Amino acid sequence: MHTKYQKKVDVEKTQAYLVGGGIASLSAAVYLITDGHVPGRNIHILEQSNITGGSMDAGGNPDTGYIFRGGRMFDEEAYQCIFGVMERIPSLTDPHITIMDEFRAFNKKIHTLAKARLIDNEANIIESSKLGFNSQDRLALMDVIIKPEEYFGTKTVQECFPESFFQTNFWFQWTTSFAFEPWHSVVEFKRYLHRFMHELPKVSDFSGVRRTPYNQYHSIILPITEWLKAQGVDFQYGCAVSSLDFKPAEDKKTVTGIHCNRDGNEERIAVEEEDFVFVTIGSITAGSSLGSTTTVPTINDKHVGGDWALWESIAKQSPEFGKPQVFNEHVKDSLFESFTVTLKDPTMFKRIVEFSGNEPGTGSLMTFKESGWFMSICLHNQPHMLNQPDDVQVLWGYCLFPYKEGDFVKKRMIDCTGEEILTELLHHLKFDEDKEKILNTSIVIPCIMPFATSQFLPRSKGDRPQVIPECSTNLAFLGQFCEITDDVVFTVDYSARSAQTAVYKFLGLDKEVTPIYKGQHDIRVLFNSAMAMMKDDSLRQEIGFLKTTMLK
Protein backbone atom coordinates (compact mmCIF):
# COMPACT_ATOMS: atom_id res chain seq x y z
CA MET A 1 0.00 0.00 0.00
CA HIS A 2 1.29 3.50 -0.89
CA THR A 3 0.22 6.49 1.13
CA LYS A 4 0.89 10.18 1.32
CA TYR A 5 2.62 9.60 4.64
CA GLN A 6 4.90 6.74 3.75
CA LYS A 7 6.29 5.17 0.63
CA LYS A 8 4.98 1.72 1.37
CA VAL A 9 2.97 0.14 4.19
CA ASP A 10 3.69 -3.52 4.71
CA VAL A 11 0.93 -4.41 7.14
CA GLU A 12 2.69 -7.61 8.17
CA LYS A 13 5.65 -5.61 9.48
CA THR A 14 4.11 -2.29 10.52
CA GLN A 15 3.53 -1.88 14.25
CA ALA A 16 0.72 0.34 15.53
CA TYR A 17 1.08 1.87 18.99
CA LEU A 18 -2.15 3.20 20.45
CA VAL A 19 -1.70 5.39 23.52
CA GLY A 20 -4.84 5.19 25.69
CA GLY A 21 -7.38 2.40 25.93
CA GLY A 22 -10.60 4.41 25.48
CA ILE A 23 -13.13 4.00 22.69
CA ALA A 24 -10.92 6.07 20.33
CA SER A 25 -8.03 3.60 20.52
CA LEU A 26 -10.30 0.56 20.56
CA SER A 27 -12.05 1.83 17.41
CA ALA A 28 -8.67 2.45 15.75
CA ALA A 29 -7.67 -1.13 16.50
CA VAL A 30 -10.95 -2.40 15.00
CA TYR A 31 -10.40 -0.37 11.80
CA LEU A 32 -6.72 -1.43 11.56
CA ILE A 33 -7.77 -5.08 11.66
CA THR A 34 -11.02 -5.08 9.68
CA ASP A 35 -10.26 -2.51 6.99
CA GLY A 36 -6.46 -2.33 7.09
CA HIS A 37 -5.78 -6.08 7.55
CA VAL A 38 -3.08 -5.27 10.09
CA PRO A 39 -2.49 -8.44 12.17
CA GLY A 40 -3.75 -8.08 15.75
CA ARG A 41 -0.31 -8.99 17.13
CA ASN A 42 1.12 -5.81 15.54
CA ILE A 43 -1.28 -3.59 17.49
CA HIS A 44 -0.21 -2.44 20.95
CA ILE A 45 -2.60 -0.61 23.28
CA LEU A 46 -0.74 1.28 26.02
CA GLU A 47 -3.15 2.16 28.82
CA GLN A 48 -2.18 3.77 32.13
CA SER A 49 -5.06 2.24 34.14
CA ASN A 50 -5.88 -1.42 34.58
CA ILE A 51 -8.95 -1.56 32.31
CA THR A 52 -10.04 -0.41 28.86
CA GLY A 53 -12.87 2.04 28.21
CA GLY A 54 -11.49 5.32 29.60
CA SER A 55 -14.52 7.56 30.17
CA MET A 56 -16.82 4.64 29.35
CA ASP A 57 -15.77 2.48 32.28
CA ALA A 58 -18.17 1.04 34.83
CA GLY A 59 -17.74 -1.27 37.76
CA GLY A 60 -18.54 -2.12 41.33
CA ASN A 61 -20.81 -4.62 43.02
CA PRO A 62 -23.93 -4.60 45.22
CA ASP A 63 -21.89 -4.71 48.43
CA THR A 64 -19.59 -1.73 47.90
CA GLY A 65 -21.79 0.04 45.35
CA TYR A 66 -21.78 0.39 41.59
CA ILE A 67 -20.14 3.28 39.76
CA PHE A 68 -20.34 4.58 36.20
CA ARG A 69 -18.97 8.07 35.68
CA GLY A 70 -21.30 8.81 32.77
CA GLY A 71 -24.23 7.39 30.85
CA ARG A 72 -24.39 7.76 27.08
CA MET A 73 -27.44 8.57 25.02
CA PHE A 74 -27.43 7.79 21.29
CA ASP A 75 -29.83 8.44 18.45
CA GLU A 76 -30.43 6.79 15.06
CA GLU A 77 -29.07 9.52 12.82
CA ALA A 78 -26.06 11.13 14.47
CA TYR A 79 -24.08 8.09 15.64
CA GLN A 80 -23.32 6.34 12.37
CA CYS A 81 -19.59 6.06 12.96
CA ILE A 82 -19.72 4.21 16.28
CA PHE A 83 -22.62 2.10 14.96
CA GLY A 84 -20.29 1.05 12.12
CA VAL A 85 -17.78 -0.15 14.72
CA MET A 86 -20.50 -1.93 16.71
CA GLU A 87 -21.64 -3.74 13.55
CA ARG A 88 -18.23 -5.45 13.36
CA ILE A 89 -18.17 -6.83 16.92
CA PRO A 90 -19.84 -10.11 17.91
CA SER A 91 -22.03 -10.28 20.99
CA LEU A 92 -20.43 -11.78 24.09
CA THR A 93 -23.32 -14.20 24.49
CA ASP A 94 -24.19 -15.11 20.89
CA PRO A 95 -21.39 -15.09 18.28
CA HIS A 96 -23.95 -15.10 15.44
CA ILE A 97 -25.14 -11.59 16.20
CA THR A 98 -23.28 -8.32 16.67
CA ILE A 99 -23.45 -5.84 19.54
CA MET A 100 -25.26 -3.53 17.11
CA ASP A 101 -27.95 -6.24 16.66
CA GLU A 102 -28.27 -6.36 20.45
CA PHE A 103 -28.56 -2.57 20.57
CA ARG A 104 -31.31 -2.55 17.90
CA ALA A 105 -33.25 -5.38 19.55
CA PHE A 106 -33.09 -3.61 22.91
CA ASN A 107 -34.37 -0.31 21.49
CA LYS A 108 -37.20 -2.11 19.71
CA LYS A 109 -38.30 -3.41 23.10
CA ILE A 110 -37.62 -0.38 25.32
CA HIS A 111 -38.77 2.98 23.93
CA THR A 112 -37.94 6.30 25.50
CA LEU A 113 -40.88 8.67 25.94
CA ALA A 114 -40.17 10.94 28.88
CA LYS A 115 -43.23 12.05 30.88
CA ALA A 116 -41.33 13.98 33.53
CA ARG A 117 -38.57 15.83 31.74
CA LEU A 118 -38.68 19.02 33.83
CA ILE A 119 -39.65 19.29 37.50
CA ASP A 120 -39.98 22.44 39.59
CA ASN A 121 -38.88 22.97 43.18
CA GLU A 122 -42.32 21.92 44.48
CA ALA A 123 -41.93 18.51 42.80
CA ASN A 124 -44.44 19.37 40.07
CA ILE A 125 -43.87 17.94 36.60
CA ILE A 126 -43.84 20.85 34.17
CA GLU A 127 -45.43 20.77 30.73
CA SER A 128 -42.32 21.32 28.63
CA SER A 129 -43.25 20.59 25.03
CA LYS A 130 -43.48 24.31 24.25
CA LEU A 131 -39.90 25.43 23.88
CA GLY A 132 -40.78 28.85 25.24
CA PHE A 133 -38.94 31.19 22.87
CA ASN A 134 -39.80 34.83 22.38
CA SER A 135 -38.97 36.47 19.06
CA GLN A 136 -35.61 37.80 20.30
CA ASP A 137 -34.58 34.27 21.36
CA ARG A 138 -35.60 32.91 17.97
CA LEU A 139 -33.65 35.56 16.10
CA ALA A 140 -30.54 34.89 18.18
CA LEU A 141 -30.94 31.17 17.58
CA MET A 142 -31.27 31.65 13.82
CA ASP A 143 -28.20 33.89 13.88
CA VAL A 144 -26.12 31.21 15.58
CA ILE A 145 -27.41 28.51 13.23
CA ILE A 146 -26.80 30.51 10.07
CA LYS A 147 -23.59 32.54 10.59
CA PRO A 148 -20.23 30.79 9.98
CA GLU A 149 -18.02 29.57 12.84
CA GLU A 150 -15.37 32.19 12.03
CA TYR A 151 -17.89 34.93 12.81
CA PHE A 152 -18.23 33.74 16.41
CA GLY A 153 -14.57 32.94 17.17
CA THR A 154 -14.11 32.47 20.93
CA LYS A 155 -17.53 33.87 21.90
CA THR A 156 -19.51 32.07 24.59
CA VAL A 157 -23.15 30.98 24.43
CA GLN A 158 -24.14 33.71 26.90
CA GLU A 159 -22.54 36.37 24.71
CA CYS A 160 -24.81 35.43 21.79
CA PHE A 161 -28.22 35.06 23.44
CA PRO A 162 -30.51 37.36 25.47
CA GLU A 163 -31.13 36.62 29.17
CA SER A 164 -34.61 35.32 28.37
CA PHE A 165 -33.13 32.45 26.30
CA PHE A 166 -31.66 30.89 29.44
CA GLN A 167 -35.12 30.63 31.02
CA THR A 168 -36.74 28.75 28.11
CA ASN A 169 -37.78 25.11 28.27
CA PHE A 170 -35.56 24.64 25.26
CA TRP A 171 -32.45 25.74 27.16
CA PHE A 172 -33.25 23.64 30.27
CA GLN A 173 -33.76 20.56 28.14
CA TRP A 174 -31.01 21.06 25.56
CA THR A 175 -28.37 22.04 28.11
CA THR A 176 -29.03 19.05 30.34
CA SER A 177 -29.20 16.64 27.38
CA PHE A 178 -25.75 17.68 26.16
CA ALA A 179 -24.13 19.29 29.27
CA PHE A 180 -23.70 22.81 27.91
CA GLU A 181 -23.07 25.71 30.28
CA PRO A 182 -23.70 29.37 29.37
CA TRP A 183 -19.93 30.06 29.39
CA HIS A 184 -19.14 27.35 26.85
CA SER A 185 -18.14 27.94 23.24
CA VAL A 186 -20.97 29.10 21.02
CA VAL A 187 -19.22 27.40 18.10
CA GLU A 188 -19.64 24.00 19.80
CA PHE A 189 -23.23 24.93 20.63
CA LYS A 190 -23.79 25.81 16.97
CA ARG A 191 -22.34 22.48 15.84
CA TYR A 192 -24.77 20.72 18.18
CA LEU A 193 -27.71 22.71 16.80
CA HIS A 194 -26.77 21.49 13.32
CA ARG A 195 -25.95 17.92 14.23
CA PHE A 196 -29.00 17.36 16.43
CA MET A 197 -31.50 19.66 14.72
CA HIS A 198 -33.74 16.65 14.04
CA GLU A 199 -33.95 16.10 17.82
CA LEU A 200 -35.25 19.60 18.50
CA PRO A 201 -38.96 18.63 18.17
CA LYS A 202 -38.26 15.63 20.47
CA VAL A 203 -36.22 17.42 23.12
CA SER A 204 -39.05 17.35 25.65
CA ASP A 205 -39.93 13.65 25.44
CA PHE A 206 -36.56 12.24 24.34
CA SER A 207 -38.35 9.97 21.88
CA GLY A 208 -35.27 10.06 19.64
CA VAL A 209 -32.96 8.70 22.35
CA ARG A 210 -31.48 5.22 21.95
CA ARG A 211 -29.72 3.28 24.72
CA THR A 212 -27.41 0.31 25.10
CA PRO A 213 -28.93 -2.75 26.85
CA TYR A 214 -26.52 -2.40 29.80
CA ASN A 215 -24.11 0.39 30.71
CA GLN A 216 -21.69 1.18 27.87
CA TYR A 217 -18.75 -0.62 29.45
CA HIS A 218 -20.60 -3.92 29.45
CA SER A 219 -22.48 -3.38 26.17
CA ILE A 220 -19.70 -1.84 24.04
CA ILE A 221 -16.24 -1.72 25.64
CA LEU A 222 -16.08 -5.27 27.03
CA PRO A 223 -17.18 -7.02 23.79
CA ILE A 224 -14.76 -4.90 21.70
CA THR A 225 -11.91 -5.62 24.12
CA GLU A 226 -12.64 -9.35 24.11
CA TRP A 227 -12.82 -9.43 20.32
CA LEU A 228 -9.53 -7.53 19.98
CA LYS A 229 -7.88 -9.91 22.44
CA ALA A 230 -9.09 -12.81 20.33
CA GLN A 231 -7.41 -11.15 17.31
CA GLY A 232 -4.12 -11.15 19.21
CA VAL A 233 -3.99 -7.42 20.07
CA ASP A 234 -1.38 -6.69 22.72
CA PHE A 235 -2.96 -4.87 25.70
CA GLN A 236 -0.42 -3.28 28.03
CA TYR A 237 -2.10 -2.06 31.21
CA GLY A 238 -0.42 0.06 33.88
CA CYS A 239 1.63 1.68 31.14
CA ALA A 240 1.65 5.49 31.48
CA VAL A 241 3.19 7.18 28.45
CA SER A 242 5.09 10.34 29.40
CA SER A 243 6.65 11.60 26.14
CA LEU A 244 7.58 10.80 22.57
CA ASP A 245 10.93 11.07 20.82
CA PHE A 246 11.00 12.69 17.40
CA LYS A 247 13.53 12.37 14.61
CA PRO A 248 15.55 15.57 14.40
CA ALA A 249 14.26 17.34 11.28
CA GLU A 250 13.17 20.86 10.51
CA ASP A 251 9.79 20.41 8.91
CA LYS A 252 8.55 16.81 9.16
CA LYS A 253 7.81 15.17 12.50
CA THR A 254 8.46 11.43 12.83
CA VAL A 255 8.10 9.57 16.14
CA THR A 256 11.08 7.38 16.92
CA GLY A 257 10.37 6.37 20.50
CA ILE A 258 7.73 6.18 23.24
CA HIS A 259 8.69 6.80 26.86
CA CYS A 260 6.51 5.13 29.46
CA ASN A 261 6.41 4.30 33.11
CA ARG A 262 5.45 0.80 34.21
CA ASP A 263 5.18 0.18 37.95
CA GLY A 264 7.66 2.97 38.63
CA ASN A 265 10.12 1.80 35.97
CA GLU A 266 10.96 4.04 33.02
CA GLU A 267 11.00 2.33 29.62
CA ARG A 268 11.50 3.33 26.00
CA ILE A 269 9.72 1.61 23.14
CA ALA A 270 11.58 2.08 19.85
CA VAL A 271 9.36 3.15 16.95
CA GLU A 272 10.48 2.55 13.35
CA GLU A 273 9.70 4.99 10.55
CA GLU A 274 7.18 2.60 9.01
CA ASP A 275 5.29 2.23 12.34
CA PHE A 276 2.33 4.37 13.40
CA VAL A 277 1.60 6.05 16.74
CA PHE A 278 -1.97 7.04 17.64
CA VAL A 279 -2.29 9.16 20.78
CA THR A 280 -5.59 9.97 22.50
CA ILE A 281 -4.78 13.46 23.74
CA GLY A 282 -6.30 14.84 26.92
CA SER A 283 -9.32 13.18 28.52
CA ILE A 284 -12.63 14.49 29.74
CA THR A 285 -12.37 12.16 32.71
CA ALA A 286 -8.73 13.00 33.50
CA GLY A 287 -8.11 13.48 37.20
CA SER A 288 -11.58 12.31 38.16
CA SER A 289 -12.07 11.36 41.77
CA LEU A 290 -14.59 9.19 43.61
CA GLY A 291 -16.08 9.86 47.03
CA SER A 292 -18.33 7.50 48.96
CA THR A 293 -21.57 7.60 50.95
CA THR A 294 -19.63 9.21 53.77
CA THR A 295 -16.70 10.95 52.05
CA VAL A 296 -16.29 13.83 49.61
CA PRO A 297 -14.34 13.43 46.34
CA THR A 298 -11.33 15.67 45.81
CA ILE A 299 -10.89 18.22 43.04
CA ASN A 300 -7.77 17.35 41.11
CA ASP A 301 -5.94 19.53 38.64
CA LYS A 302 -4.23 18.71 35.36
CA HIS A 303 -1.18 17.23 37.10
CA VAL A 304 -3.07 14.14 38.30
CA GLY A 305 -2.81 11.26 35.78
CA GLY A 306 -0.81 11.26 32.58
CA ASP A 307 -3.57 12.49 30.26
CA TRP A 308 -2.66 16.19 30.01
CA ALA A 309 1.06 15.88 30.75
CA LEU A 310 1.58 13.77 27.64
CA TRP A 311 -0.21 16.21 25.33
CA GLU A 312 1.66 19.14 26.94
CA SER A 313 4.98 17.45 26.28
CA ILE A 314 4.07 16.62 22.66
CA ALA A 315 2.68 20.12 22.04
CA LYS A 316 6.11 21.61 22.73
CA GLN A 317 7.41 19.94 19.55
CA SER A 318 5.28 21.85 17.04
CA PRO A 319 2.61 24.58 16.90
CA GLU A 320 0.64 22.10 14.78
CA PHE A 321 0.19 19.87 17.84
CA GLY A 322 -2.34 22.17 19.55
CA LYS A 323 -2.65 23.99 22.87
CA PRO A 324 -3.72 21.76 25.77
CA GLN A 325 -3.68 24.70 28.22
CA VAL A 326 -6.77 26.14 26.49
CA PHE A 327 -8.70 23.13 27.82
CA ASN A 328 -6.97 22.13 31.05
CA GLU A 329 -6.55 25.39 32.99
CA HIS A 330 -10.19 26.33 33.67
CA VAL A 331 -11.38 23.65 36.06
CA LYS A 332 -14.17 25.80 37.49
CA ASP A 333 -15.66 26.12 34.01
CA SER A 334 -15.25 22.48 33.00
CA LEU A 335 -15.97 20.51 36.20
CA PHE A 336 -19.13 18.55 36.69
CA GLU A 337 -20.13 16.01 39.22
CA SER A 338 -22.11 12.81 38.81
CA PHE A 339 -23.31 10.25 41.33
CA THR A 340 -24.29 6.59 41.16
CA VAL A 341 -26.80 5.27 43.68
CA THR A 342 -27.05 1.56 44.50
CA LEU A 343 -30.44 0.85 46.05
CA LYS A 344 -30.88 -2.26 48.15
CA ASP A 345 -34.49 -1.47 48.91
CA PRO A 346 -37.04 -1.01 46.07
CA THR A 347 -38.89 1.93 47.68
CA MET A 348 -37.12 4.77 45.91
CA PHE A 349 -37.28 3.16 42.48
CA LYS A 350 -40.97 2.32 42.86
CA ARG A 351 -41.77 5.83 44.00
CA ILE A 352 -39.89 7.46 41.10
CA VAL A 353 -41.73 5.22 38.64
CA GLU A 354 -45.08 6.25 40.20
CA PHE A 355 -44.07 9.90 40.29
CA SER A 356 -42.78 10.12 36.71
CA GLY A 357 -45.17 7.72 34.98
CA ASN A 358 -42.16 6.14 33.28
CA GLU A 359 -40.95 2.57 33.70
CA PRO A 360 -37.14 2.40 34.15
CA GLY A 361 -35.37 2.91 30.84
CA THR A 362 -38.24 4.81 29.23
CA GLY A 363 -37.86 8.19 30.87
CA SER A 364 -34.28 9.20 30.30
CA LEU A 365 -33.29 12.39 32.15
CA MET A 366 -35.49 14.06 34.78
CA THR A 367 -34.23 17.58 35.50
CA PHE A 368 -34.97 19.63 38.61
CA LYS A 369 -34.84 22.85 36.67
CA GLU A 370 -34.93 25.25 39.62
CA SER A 371 -32.50 23.30 41.78
CA GLY A 372 -29.42 25.14 42.98
CA TRP A 373 -27.10 22.40 41.74
CA PHE A 374 -29.15 22.04 38.50
CA MET A 375 -29.63 18.33 39.12
CA SER A 376 -30.78 15.65 36.68
CA ILE A 377 -31.33 11.95 37.31
CA CYS A 378 -31.83 8.91 35.11
CA LEU A 379 -33.43 5.52 35.79
CA HIS A 380 -31.98 3.09 33.28
CA ASN A 381 -33.59 -0.17 32.35
CA GLN A 382 -32.63 -2.72 35.03
CA PRO A 383 -30.35 -4.56 35.38
CA HIS A 384 -27.92 -1.92 34.17
CA MET A 385 -24.82 -3.84 35.24
CA LEU A 386 -24.02 -7.41 34.17
CA ASN A 387 -23.51 -8.62 37.75
CA GLN A 388 -26.53 -6.82 39.23
CA PRO A 389 -28.88 -8.98 41.36
CA ASP A 390 -32.66 -8.73 40.77
CA ASP A 391 -33.30 -7.13 44.16
CA VAL A 392 -30.82 -4.28 43.65
CA GLN A 393 -31.36 -1.19 41.47
CA VAL A 394 -29.01 1.52 40.30
CA LEU A 395 -29.73 5.11 39.36
CA TRP A 396 -27.44 7.81 38.04
CA GLY A 397 -27.52 11.56 38.29
CA TYR A 398 -25.43 14.62 37.61
CA CYS A 399 -25.36 18.33 38.32
CA LEU A 400 -24.24 21.17 36.06
CA PHE A 401 -23.78 23.72 38.90
CA PRO A 402 -21.79 21.78 41.53
CA TYR A 403 -20.17 25.00 42.82
CA LYS A 404 -23.57 26.35 43.90
CA GLU A 405 -25.37 25.72 47.18
CA GLY A 406 -28.08 23.07 47.38
CA ASP A 407 -31.69 24.00 48.18
CA PHE A 408 -32.04 21.71 51.19
CA VAL A 409 -28.49 20.68 51.99
CA LYS A 410 -27.06 24.15 52.28
CA LYS A 411 -23.66 23.28 50.87
CA ARG A 412 -21.96 23.29 47.48
CA MET A 413 -22.28 19.89 45.84
CA ILE A 414 -18.49 19.58 45.56
CA ASP A 415 -18.35 19.68 49.39
CA CYS A 416 -20.94 16.94 49.88
CA THR A 417 -20.76 13.25 50.67
CA GLY A 418 -22.86 10.74 48.75
CA GLU A 419 -25.40 10.68 51.59
CA GLU A 420 -25.82 14.46 51.43
CA ILE A 421 -26.33 14.34 47.67
CA LEU A 422 -29.02 11.66 48.03
CA THR A 423 -30.65 13.72 50.81
CA GLU A 424 -30.86 16.71 48.45
CA LEU A 425 -32.41 14.53 45.74
CA LEU A 426 -34.98 13.02 48.13
CA HIS A 427 -36.07 16.52 49.16
CA HIS A 428 -36.51 17.54 45.52
CA LEU A 429 -38.69 14.48 45.00
CA LYS A 430 -40.55 15.17 48.28
CA PHE A 431 -40.00 11.58 49.43
CA ASP A 432 -39.57 12.82 53.00
CA GLU A 433 -41.48 10.05 54.76
CA ASP A 434 -39.25 7.36 53.17
CA LYS A 435 -36.06 9.35 53.52
CA GLU A 436 -34.49 7.43 56.43
CA LYS A 437 -35.31 4.02 54.98
CA ILE A 438 -33.82 4.96 51.60
CA LEU A 439 -30.70 6.55 53.08
CA ASN A 440 -30.10 3.52 55.31
CA THR A 441 -30.28 1.06 52.43
CA SER A 442 -28.37 2.94 49.72
CA ILE A 443 -24.76 3.35 48.66
CA VAL A 444 -23.98 6.63 46.90
CA ILE A 445 -20.71 7.19 45.04
CA PRO A 446 -20.13 10.78 43.92
CA CYS A 447 -17.63 11.42 41.13
CA ILE A 448 -15.97 14.76 40.42
CA MET A 449 -14.71 15.14 36.85
CA PRO A 450 -12.65 18.36 36.68
CA PHE A 451 -12.45 18.32 32.87
CA ALA A 452 -15.82 16.78 31.95
CA THR A 453 -16.82 19.68 29.72
CA SER A 454 -13.35 21.05 28.88
CA GLN A 455 -13.91 20.14 25.23
CA PHE A 456 -16.72 22.76 25.15
CA LEU A 457 -14.50 25.63 26.35
CA PRO A 458 -14.06 28.55 23.93
CA ARG A 459 -11.21 27.86 21.54
CA SER A 460 -9.53 29.36 18.51
CA LYS A 461 -8.44 27.77 15.27
CA GLY A 462 -5.29 25.73 15.89
CA ASP A 463 -5.98 25.05 19.58
CA ARG A 464 -6.98 21.56 18.55
CA PRO A 465 -4.52 19.73 16.28
CA GLN A 466 -5.67 18.03 13.08
CA VAL A 467 -6.10 14.25 13.38
CA ILE A 468 -2.92 13.95 11.32
CA PRO A 469 -1.12 17.30 11.35
CA GLU A 470 0.49 18.33 8.05
CA CYS A 471 3.98 17.96 9.50
CA SER A 472 3.44 14.45 10.86
CA THR A 473 4.63 11.32 9.06
CA ASN A 474 3.54 8.67 11.58
CA LEU A 475 1.74 10.38 14.50
CA ALA A 476 -2.05 10.80 14.70
CA PHE A 477 -4.17 12.44 17.39
CA LEU A 478 -7.38 10.74 18.50
CA GLY A 479 -10.24 11.56 20.85
CA GLN A 480 -12.07 14.68 21.92
CA PHE A 481 -9.35 17.28 21.44
CA CYS A 482 -8.33 16.85 17.82
CA GLU A 483 -10.14 18.79 15.09
CA ILE A 484 -12.76 17.20 12.85
CA THR A 485 -14.59 19.76 10.75
CA ASP A 486 -18.33 20.00 11.58
CA ASP A 487 -18.26 17.10 14.04
CA VAL A 488 -19.46 17.41 17.66
CA VAL A 489 -17.29 16.65 20.70
CA PHE A 490 -18.57 15.00 23.90
CA THR A 491 -19.64 12.10 21.76
CA VAL A 492 -18.43 8.58 21.26
CA ASP A 493 -18.90 9.18 17.55
CA TYR A 494 -16.22 11.90 17.52
CA SER A 495 -13.63 9.57 19.04
CA ALA A 496 -14.55 6.77 16.61
CA ARG A 497 -14.39 9.13 13.62
CA SER A 498 -10.96 10.43 14.64
CA ALA A 499 -9.80 6.80 14.70
CA GLN A 500 -11.31 5.99 11.30
CA THR A 501 -9.83 9.15 9.74
CA ALA A 502 -6.34 8.37 11.06
CA VAL A 503 -6.35 4.70 10.04
CA TYR A 504 -7.70 5.31 6.52
CA LYS A 505 -5.21 8.11 5.85
CA PHE A 506 -2.15 6.35 7.25
CA LEU A 507 -2.88 3.11 5.43
CA GLY A 508 -3.92 4.95 2.26
CA LEU A 509 -7.19 3.02 2.14
CA ASP A 510 -9.50 3.82 -0.72
CA LYS A 511 -12.47 4.10 1.64
CA GLU A 512 -14.68 6.98 2.69
CA VAL A 513 -14.73 8.01 6.34
CA THR A 514 -18.33 7.65 7.63
CA PRO A 515 -20.07 10.90 6.63
CA ILE A 516 -21.31 13.23 9.34
CA TYR A 517 -25.10 13.35 9.49
CA LYS A 518 -26.26 16.79 8.35
CA GLY A 519 -29.94 17.12 9.15
CA GLN A 520 -29.70 20.88 8.71
CA HIS A 521 -29.58 20.27 4.96
CA ASP A 522 -32.77 18.21 5.00
CA ILE A 523 -35.83 20.35 4.29
CA ARG A 524 -38.09 18.10 6.40
CA VAL A 525 -35.79 18.42 9.41
CA LEU A 526 -35.69 22.18 8.94
CA PHE A 527 -39.45 22.45 8.77
CA ASN A 528 -40.08 20.20 11.76
CA SER A 529 -37.57 22.13 13.85
CA ALA A 530 -39.01 25.46 12.78
CA MET A 531 -42.47 24.17 13.76
CA ALA A 532 -41.16 23.19 17.19
CA MET A 533 -39.55 26.59 17.61
CA MET A 534 -42.81 28.33 16.73
CA LYS A 535 -45.12 26.08 18.75
CA ASP A 536 -48.39 27.87 19.50
CA ASP A 537 -47.31 30.87 17.53
CA SER A 538 -49.25 32.32 14.65
CA LEU A 539 -46.16 31.88 12.47
CA ARG A 540 -46.52 28.17 13.01
CA GLN A 541 -49.71 28.06 10.95
CA GLU A 542 -47.97 29.87 8.11
CA ILE A 543 -45.05 27.43 8.20
CA GLY A 544 -47.46 24.48 8.32
CA PHE A 545 -49.17 25.83 5.24
CA LEU A 546 -45.83 26.29 3.44
CA LYS A 547 -44.73 22.79 4.42
CA THR A 548 -47.80 21.12 2.96
CA THR A 549 -47.65 23.13 -0.26
CA MET A 550 -43.88 22.84 -0.81
CA LEU A 551 -43.53 19.15 0.02
CA LYS A 552 -46.41 18.10 -2.24
Ligand X SMILES: Cc1cc2nc3c(=O)[nH]c(=O)nc-3n(C[C@H](O)[C@H](O)[C@H](O)COP(=O)(O)OP(=O)(O)OC[C@H]3O[C@@H](n4cnc5c(N)ncnc54)[C@H](O)[C@@H]3O)c2cc1C
- Taking the least distance from each CB to ligand X, the nearer of 121 and 242 is 242
Note whether 377 binds ligand X by CB under 6 A. Answer: no
Residues 6+ apart with CB under 8 A from 352: 366, 377, 379, 395, 429
Per CB under 6 A, the segment of 15-23, 128-136, 139-147, 433-441 that binds ligand X is 15-23
Closest CA to 494 of 90, 95, 97, 23: 23
| Min CB(253)–ligand X separation in Å | 18
DSSP assignment of 279-316: EE-S-TTTT-EE--SSSPPP---TTSSSHHHHHHHHHT
Cα–Cα distance, 441 to 346 (Å, whole number) = 10
Among candidate residues 79, 192, 214, 517, the one labeled active-site is 192
Cα–Cα distance, 416 to 430 (Å, whole number) = 20
Note whether 285 binds ligand X by CB under 6 A. Answer: yes
Q: Which residues pair with 58 in a beta bridge?
A: 68
Note whether 480 binds ligand X by CB under 6 A. Answer: yes
**Residue 499 CA, distance from chain mean position:** 16
Q: Give me the phi and psi of 126, to 5 degrees please.
A: -100, 140
- Torsion over CA of 310, 478, 82 and 49, rounded to 10 degrees? -20
| Min CB(142)–ligand X separation in Å | 26
Residues 6+ apart with CB under 8 A from 519: 77, 194, 195, 196, 197, 198, 525
| Min CB(46)–ligand X separation in Å | 5
Cα–Cα distance, 384 to 171 (Å, whole number) = 29
Note whether 488 binds ligand X by CB under 6 A. Answer: no
| Min CB(416)–ligand X separation in Å | 18
- Taking the least distance from each CB to ligand X, the nearer of 6 and 466 is 466
Per CB under 6 A, the segment of 51-59, 121-129, 154-162, 399-407 that binds ligand X is 51-59
Run of H or E residues at 546: helix 538-550
DSSP assignment of 36-51: T---GGGEEEE-SSSS
Note whether 490 binds ligand X by CB under 6 A. Answer: yes
Per CB under 6 A, the segment of 248-256, 282-290, 319-327, 457-465 that binds ligand X is 282-290
Note whether 450 binds ligand X by CB under 6 A. Answer: no
The b/e string for 522-552 (b: 16+ C-beta within 10 A; e otherwise) is eeebbbbbbbbbbeebeeeeebeeebeeeee
Closest CA to 393 of 428, 337, 443, 339: 443
Note whether 218 binds ligand X by CB under 6 A. Answer: no
Distance (Å) of CA 438 to CA 347, 381, 383, 509: 7, 20, 19, 56
Note whether 185 binds ligand X by CB under 6 A. Answer: no
Note whether 186 binds ligand X by CB under 6 A. Answer: no
Per CB under 6 A, the segment of 104-112, 151-159, 419-427, 489-497 that binds ligand X is 489-497
Note whether 19 binds ligand X by CB under 6 A. Answer: yes
Note whether 204 binds ligand X by CB under 6 A. Answer: no
State which of positions 420-449 bind ligand X (CB under 6 A). Answer: 449
Note whether 133 binds ligand X by CB under 6 A. Answer: no
| Min CB(64)–ligand X separation in Å | 21
Note whether 24 binds ligand X by CB under 6 A. Answer: yes
Note whether 479 binds ligand X by CB under 6 A. Answer: yes
- Taking the least distance from each CB to ligand X, the nearer of 438 and 447 is 447
**Residue 502 CA, distance from chain mean position:** 20
Contact predicate 81/497, CB 8 Å? yes
Please compute Rg for the chain using Cα positions: 23
Contact predicate 237/68, CB 8 Å? no
| Min CB(216)–ligand X separation in Å | 7
Note whether 174 binds ligand X by CB under 6 A. Answer: no
Contact predicate 101/505, CB 8 Å? no
Burial-class residue 170 by CB neighbours within 10 Å (0-12, 13-18, 19+): buried
Which of residues 38, 58, 193, 241 is near ligand X by CB under 6 A? 241
Per CB under 6 A, the segment of 128-136, 152-160, 305-313, 414-422 that binds ligand X is 305-313
- Taking the least distance from each CB to ligand X, the nearer of 378 and 530 is 378
State which of positions 308-367 bind ligand X (CB under 6 A). Answer: 310, 338
Q: Does 192 participate in catalysis according to the annotation?
A: yes
Which of residues 15, 20, 337, 342 is near ligand X by CB under 6 A? 20
| Min CB(357)–ligand X separation in Å | 23
Note whether 397 binds ligand X by CB under 6 A. Answer: no
Which of residues 452, 509, 513, 533 is near ligand X by CB under 6 A? 452
Summarize as ranges the residues that interact with ligand X (CB under 6 A): 19-24, 46-49, 54-56, 69-70, 72-73, 240-241, 280, 283-285, 306-307, 310, 338, 449, 452, 479-480, 490-493, 495
Question: Which residues are catalytically annotated?
Answer: 192
